A = this chain, B = another copy of it.
Amino acid sequence: MELLKGIDVANAINEKLIKESADMGGRVPKLAIIRVGERPDDMSYERGATKKMEKVGFACESFVFPETIENEAFQKEFDTINDNPEIDGILLLRPLPKHLDEEAVVGRISPEKDLDGISPVNLAKVFAGDKTGFAPCTAEAVVEMLDFAGIDVTGKRVTVVGRSLVIGKPVSMLLLKKNATVTICHTKTKDMKEECRRADILVAAAGVAKMITAEYVGKGAVVIDVGINVDNNGKLCGDVDTDGISSLASVATPVPGGVGSVTTSVLAKHLLQAAKENR
């Protein structure tokens, strides 16, 4: 089994971005990260995104609000950022605290700044297979990894485990657009093992630590692990028991160091695209 590492994919994207951004005429693409409260997950993603923007030479500003901010005040702050022409793209760390109206923000974020594809306009474009929109970064990172590894998905059986609007559904649509035959599985699926085992490419986005064992993997399958979980020993792990499937899969992505490492590079790619449109 070949281990497909995110760092290699990310580096390839980064290099391309640095080249492509050279002709921006000195205008540096700028990302706004919006965070409410101090959730460790959010802060970790924020650090990763900030570092990635630095790496490719893009600007990044964090707008951090206390968890106690009132809804009206937050909506106003959001509009100011959303309307600021200096800001090319926005990353909103979600979920927001429950007292804040997240739906209102999602409905109002400018589609052309909506780098993580949360607005209805971008969701509809992903659904339609219209590439002018922004797909959720993690979903697109899966596609970037397959592309980098030279895996053509045309006509292949892809099984996606998970049907969230952030990963399962958009990655299904992106791979369908690339002519894969896509099966979407979830907790209500009967005989999940069989559905997974027949896949040429298995995308695990269930959010269940190491649920994908050898019984779920067909000989020679490509296994992309989108899960980020903590195992019984408090260690970060994916949805895939990578050691357990190593004699079956032809290619697998590790966690950590897999899809997650590519996500912020896709974010940077989206930022450059937004900045070019915004010029």
| Chain A residues with a Cβ under 8 A of chain B | 120-121, 123-129, 154-157, 163, 165, 169, 172-173, 176, 179, 181-186, 188-190, 195
Assuming the contacts A176-B163, A183-B183, asked whether A188 and B121 have C-beta atoms less than 8 A apart, the reply is no
Residues of chain B with a CB closer than 8 A to A128's CB: 123, 165, 169
Q: What's the minimum C-beta distance from A124 to chain B, rounded to whole angstroms?
A: 4
Max chain B Cβ within 10 angstroms of own Cβ: one of A163, A184, A185: A184
Copies in the complex: 2
Within the assembled complex, what's the spacing in Å between the Cα atoms of A189 and B153?
10
24 A-B pairs within 8 Å (CB atoms) are namely A120-B120, A120-B123, A120-B125, A121-B124, A123-B124, A123-B127, A124-B124, A126-B127, A127-B127, A127-B169, A127-B173, A128-B165, A128-B169, A155-B188, A155-B190, A157-B190, A163-B176, A169-B173, A176-B184, A176-B186, A181-B183, A181-B184, A181-B188, A181-B190
Contact with A189, one of B124, B155, B195 (Cβ below 8 angstroms): B155
Q: Are B182 and A184 in contact (CB under 8 A)?
A: yes
By the criterion CB–CB under 8 Å, are B127 and A165 in contact?
Answer: yes
CB distance from A3 to the nearest CB of B (A): 27
